[in-house]
Amino acid sequence: MKTPLAWHNLLHSKMRTATAVAGVTFAVVLIFMQTGFLGMAAQTSGMIYDALDFDLVVRSRQYRRLSDAATIARSRLYTVASTRGVASVAAVHVAPGQWRNPVTGRKRMILTIGVQPGSRVFKLAEIQHKADLLETPEFVLIDRKSRAEFGPANGVRFGNGDLGAESEVARRTVRIVGTFSLGAGFESDGAILLDERGFLRIHPERTSQEASLGLIKLSGDAQAESVTARLQSALPPDVQVLARADVLGFERNLWVREMPVGIMFQFGVAVALIVGTAIVYQVLSSDVANHMGEYATLKAIGYGSGYLCSVVLQQAIALALLGFLPGLAIAEALYCVTERMTNLPISMNAGRIVLVLTLSLVMCIVSGLAAVRKVRRADPADLF
């Protein structure tokens, strides 16, 4: 039976091994958090679109993101409604607004969504049902998952205790008549729903002759590609028509690959890998230097460089596994704390666990490959 030399090396220098494991754990936690935030950005990027019921969407070619959607002329939607294959089209208004905390009086940006009275634009039954409560322009529904900074009565989350409470949006008094569950995201920390009259009341710069989006439902036998082609030829070039999958893909790509927040999280993953690689390399390099005589002895009695290099790589893999397990536990706890404090959806999943484990192994193996160069230089002649 072969002696587990790599394991004995790790146990021989317990303090050095503990330092390496702590370094790997730190890197693993950092990678988990950055990939978690990146996944959160991807998940929340299309959160509001996920709640809307549409097959195609008409939007301005000046569209940047949902909170900066620009506007389209309402007449464009009349053209859409008369196109073959279109069952219905509904106007939706979206814009940021200044919400005044009813408790502290502080103002904070909130996403305001306006819908036509009686229109069926939501997939979520709860929101669609409660939209009927918006009987006057002053009435609003507020997202239960809006940040606590918006001023819920219990100081934590909006609920039944906030029904009837008054606040202001853009210096216009509004009254909460219901809540719904959507969720905060990087687009906005919270959201309110109003009918079209209420939206135009708090956004006097907008008119009833324009909209942010046109949500299209197709008739049963209509093909999205053919209807899209007909609409593009019938509509002027100031608007574009996109399928649902394309809209969601655009938002995901925007927040993950183009917006600073997504780039920052990707950079964070790279930094974590570099930090972890440097820590493990320093530990393995120091261990090889301290045991150079032993490696030279092994070479003298017939062990080749390949075997000695495999020992170092085994140590690297062992460090990756030893550091990964506590890193996973710590990251899971931090996910729970982050979700509770921010109301942002962040949770562990199998895909992320496999990804981070793979990155951890790669990180440690790269460190091992860098350290084995010293092993190859071990010379039995140095023993004499």
Entry pTM: 0.79
3-class secondary structure, 218? strand
CA 157, 43, 203, 241 dihedral sign is negative
Please give the mean pLDDT across all residues of the chain.
85
d(Cα 123, Cα 181) in Å, to the nearest integer?
12
- 383 falls in which pLDDT band (50, 70, 90)? very low
Residue 228 corresponds to which tokens in the numbers above?
A: 């899209």
365 CA to centre of own chain: 29
Give yes or no for residue 5 having a pLDDT over 60: no
DSSP letters along 318-354, please?
Answer: HHHHHHHHHHHHHHHHHHHHHHHHH-------HHHHH
Q: Is the dihedral of CA 212, 218, 223, 229 positive or negative?
A: negative
**Which of 143, 226, 214 is CA-nearest to residue 178?**
143
Please tell me the predicted confidence (pLDDT) of residue 274.
85
| pLDDT score of 382 | 54
Residue 54 or 39, more confident: 54
Residue 147 pLDDT exceeds 90: no
Mean pLDDT, rounded, for 38-45: 83
User: Quick check: 379 pLDDT over 80?
Assistant: no
User: Tell me: the pLDDT tens digits for 288-335?
Assistant: 666 666 666 666 666 666 666 777 778 788 888 888 999 999 999 999
pLDDT (tens digit per residue) in 153-189:
888 889 999 999 999 998 899 999 999 988 767 778 8
Backbone torsion region of residue 89, taken as left when φ is above 0, otherwise alpha when ψ lies between -120 and 50, otherwise beta: beta
Other Cβ atoms closer than 10 A to 262: 21
Mean pLDDT of 74-84: 92
Do the Cβ atoms of 115 and 92 come closer than 8 Å?
yes
Segment 134-150 mean pLDDT: 91
Q: Assess whether pLDDT exceeds 70 at residue 71.
A: yes
Q: What is the CA radius of gyration of the chain?
A: 29
pLDDT at 1 over 50: no
- How many angstroms separate the CA atoms of 213 and 239, rounded? 10
